[in-house]
Amino acid sequence: MTDTSSSQPAKAWSGRFSEPVSDLVKRYTASVFFDQRMARQDIRGSLAHAKMLARQGIIGAQDLADIERGMVQIRGEIERGEFDWNLDDEDVHLNIEKRLTALVGDAGKRLHTGRSRNDQVATDIRLWLRDAIDQILALIGEFQKNLLDVAEANAATPMPGFTHLQIAQPVTFGHHLMAYFEMSRRDAERFTDCRKRVNRLPLGAAALAGTSYPIDREFVARELGFDEVCYNSLDAVSDRDFAIEFCAASALLMTHLSRLSEELILWMSPRVGFIDLADRFCTGSSIMPQKKNPDVPELVRGKTGRVNGSLIALLTLMKGQPLAYNKDNQEDKEPLFDTADTVIDTLRIYADMITGIRVKADAMRDALKQGYATATDLADYLVKKGLPFRDAHEAVALAVRAAEAKGCDLPDFSLDELRAFSPLVGDDVFAVLTVEGSLASRAHVGGTAPDQVRAAIARARSTLG
Ligand code: ARG
């Protein structure tokens, strides 16, 4: 191997320039301190590219061997934390290429044949994001499994269902949790769908117009596990819609977990007292000794803001860019990485936290009693006896008013008292006025009857595999 690196200019592109950039500009334009996270993907992409170049006779077999040997060494240096990342070399791509050239000489300089950093970076991000999506999908699965366990244990645990945060009708806690299972199922679908569009190969687009070398893009795609190649070179290097989609899917997932967090916080408030969270997800107060604060759910709710922010950052980054590549795109990485980190950590913590929920079934039942939660059931009962629904609604409204005045719940009235509101009331009325009766009567697919909740859980388990 020959080493001609002594004739290399300081920067990979500086041959054309008459003065160096200032330190501030260097720092402002560099990305190495955040894009080094893609080093593994960068090396993978380079090895596939080099293999293709050798197969096509664009570089020699010895060049390929040198590149492979150099990359093994570089990967080791990076993994051991020994790699010397250098701001002068701008980004992860130039840092690795420079080190490769220092290690193996001319073969290192031949690696960039038929390629540009524009298609290189687009490839690296897609490889990185594909790994992140796979990790997220596995974590959603874990969250779902644990959620189903808690739902199953509470398939028949009555709690008040709310609308307008006012007690509305009885549901079971398991049914309530299964609403979040459905949300997470759609989240998983969205990430799976997004992955299809992430998993396409930009390499070969070169700077923007393709390359005059006889490259084999399909080979590179297969080597890297991409489903297909990007079919337009300008589009391949310039669009980041796949990253925006990922952030949108992430924002929705975080929105769902933020809603669940809000509920956990409410339920855990001593004023409500429906659940307790395991101590390891809460913190105390430095001044108020009695406090146990739900910090983790609060932070999930808070971090949803930054994920939403990243989505808007990427949309805004893209909207004014003419084709093809512009340096603006370098700004895609930090919001993207931050989003993936936030989603991954949030899912990890949630999968664990959900198993640490202690359900206070008595408090849930007490709240139901105070809320006239079976009022709709009484109205439905009267309708089934022949009263038009609007009249039934009115009769029950009067009954609730009377109960409020007496300070009791509807099932506490005697038969005679109830008959005062409608002569259609018979002694079978008490079956529908109880919480259990109300729950059991909602026995259709998607309803809150405990048997239906159990069926929903079984259905969900079969989709998880
Ligand atoms: N660091 C750059 C980025 O993240 C790599 C591509 C640079 N290409 C260029 N023509 N300056 O987008």
Q: What is residue 428's predicted lDDT score, i.e. its pLDDT?
A: 93
Q: Which of 89, 91, 336 has most ligand 1 atoms within 8 Å of its beta carbon, as the pocket-test mutant? A: 91
From start to end of 80-164, where are the E strands? 158-163
Residue 330 CA to ligand 1 center (angstroms) comes to 6
Q: What is residue 284's predicted lDDT score, i.e. its pLDDT?
A: 81
What percentage of the chain reaches a pLDDT higher than 90? 90
Indicate the pLDDT class of residue 351, thresholds 50, 70 and 90: very high
* Bridge partners for 163 per DSSP: 166
Indicate the pLDDT class of residue 9, thresholds 50, 70 and 90: low
Residue 56 CA to ligand 1 center (angstroms) comes to 26
Q: What is residue 53's predicted lDDT score, i.e. its pLDDT?
A: 98
Q: Are 42 and 62 in contact (CB under 8 A)?
A: no
Provide the residue type at 8 as one letter.
Answer: Q
| pLDDT for residue 333 is more than 50 | yes
Farthest CA pair distance, the chain: 104
**If you average pLDDT over residues 357-362, what whole number do you get?**
97
Among 32-36, 51-55, 316-320, 433-437, the range scoring the smallest mean pLDDT is 433-437
Q: What is residue 6's predicted lDDT score, i.e. its pLDDT?
A: 42
169 Ramachandran zone, left/alpha/beta (phi>0; psi -120 to 50): beta
Ligand 1 touching residue 238 (CB < 6 A): no
Phi (first) and psi of residue 445, to 5 degrees: -55, 130
Q: What is the CATH number of domain 23-113?
A: 1.10.275.10
Indicate the pLDDT class of residue 389, thresholds 50, 70 and 90: very high
Q: What is residue 288's predicted lDDT score, i.e. its pLDDT?
A: 81
**Domains 118-365 and 368-458 in one fold:** no
CA 249 to chain centre: 6
**If you average pLDDT over residues 60-79, what whole number do you get?**
98
From start to end of 244-396, where are the E strands? 275-277, 357-359
Residue 164 annotated among the catalytic residues of the structure: yes
Ligand 1 touching residue 332 (CB < 6 A): no
Q: Are 154 and 456 in contact (CB under 8 A)?
A: no
Indicate the pLDDT class of residue 371, thresholds 50, 70 and 90: confident
Q: What is residue 286's predicted lDDT score, i.e. its pLDDT?
A: 80
| pLDDT for residue 7 is more than 80 | no
Active-site residue among 164, 286, 444, 462? 164
Which of 160, 153, 140 lies closest to 267, judged by CA? 160
What mean pLDDT is reported for the chain?
A: 95
pLDDT digits (tens, 9 = 90+) for 234-288: 999 999 999 999 999 999 999 999 999 999 999 999 999 999 998 888 888 787 8
Residue 174 CA to ligand 1 center (angstroms) comes to 50
CA–CA gap between residue 382 and residue 72 (Å, rounded): 78
With 0.75 as the threshold, say if the pTM is over it: yes
Atom 11, ligand 1: residue with shortest CA distance: 327
| pLDDT for residue 92 is more than 80 | yes
Ligand 1 touching residue 91 (CB < 6 A): yes
Q: Are 223 and 48 in contact (CB under 8 A)?
A: yes
**If you average pLDDT over residues 372-389, what whole number do you get?**
94
Ligand 1 touching residue 31 (CB < 6 A): yes
Among 177-181, 326-330, 437-441, the range scoring the smallest mean pLDDT is 437-441
Indicate the pLDDT class of residue 203, thresholds 50, 70 and 90: very high
Which is it for the CA torsion 117, 118, 121, 123, positive or negative? negative
Which of 326, 330, 435 lies closest to 377, judged by CA? 435
Residue 233 annotated among the catalytic residues of the structure: no
Q: What is residue 10's predicted lDDT score, i.e. its pLDDT?
A: 67
Considering the four listed CATH numbers 1.20.1250.20, 3.40.50.261, 1.10.150.130, 1.10.40.30, the one that applies to the domain covering 368-458 is 1.10.40.30
Which is it for the CA torsion 50, 51, 55, 56, positive or negative? negative
Which of 387, 443, 439 lies closest to 399, judged by CA? 387
CB atoms within 10 A of CB 21: 15
| pLDDT for residue 416 is more than 90 | yes
| pLDDT for residue 379 is more than 50 | yes
pLDDT digits (tens, 9 = 90+) for 111-157: 999 999 999 999 999 999 999 999 999 999 999 999 999 999 999 99
Structure-block tokens of residue 91: 């980004």
Nearest atom of ligand 1 to the alpha carbon of 90:
1
Structure-block tokens of residue 173: 């806690």
* Domain ranges, ordered by start, for the chain: 23-113, 118-365, 368-458
User: Looking at the chain, how many residues does it have?
Assistant: 465
Q: Which CATH superfamily hosts domain 118-365? A: Fumarase/aspartase (Central domain) (1.20.200.10)
